[in-house]
Amino acid sequence: MNISHIEHLGIAVENLEESIKYYEEVLGLKCYSVEEVADQKVKTAFFMVGSTKIELLESTYPDGPIGKFIAKKGQGIHHIAFAVDSATKALKQAEERGVTLIDKVSRKGAEGLNIGFLHPKSTLGVLTELCSKQE
């Protein structure tokens, strides 16, 4: 697995609009994209901090992954995403190394990236996302 950099940090929020205001008005960052990812039941907003992105995630359905996360743990850091050459190949390598996968193969995520998740029970409690621009 060839990780080149932290692609983004995912932060679960209850209200995307209010959260964008905080990041823009208090921290001085600029939201450059808002996007809904229907199959993941989430609406996202992105900010650049140097070469790393912050992704805010608001659930569009209470039974979606982010809705369940907030109900159980509250708002906060949801996952860390690493950029790799191929998300599917990186998932396979992680599985070969004994990691439990959430995704066996990559799927489309926000910003058109190919994404796949490693289960936090196998990653020291941190939900880990692997992202690639192409497969």
In this prediction, residue 1 carries a pLDDT of 85
Structural domain including 97 reads 3-132
Supply the pLDDT for residue 18.
97
- How confident is the model at residue 96, as a pLDDT? 97
Amino acid occupying residue 98: G
Amino acid found at 89? K
In single-letter form, the type of residue at position 64 comes to G
pTM for the full predicted model: 0.92
What is the count of structural domains for the chain?
Answer: 1
Q: What is the pLDDT of residues 59-111, one digit of tens each?
A: 999 999 999 999 999 999 999 999 999 999 999 999 999 999 999 999 999 99
Here the CATH number for the domain that contains residue 45 is 3.10.180.10
Residues 107 and 40: beta-carbon distance below 8 Å: no
- pLDDT higher than 80, residue 114: yes
Contacts of 82 (CB under 8 A, 6+ apart): 3, 5, 6, 7, 128, 129, 130, 131
Query: Edge-to-edge strands of the sheet including 107-108?
Result: 31-37, 42-49, 52-59, 3-13, 76-84, 128-132, 114-118, 107-108
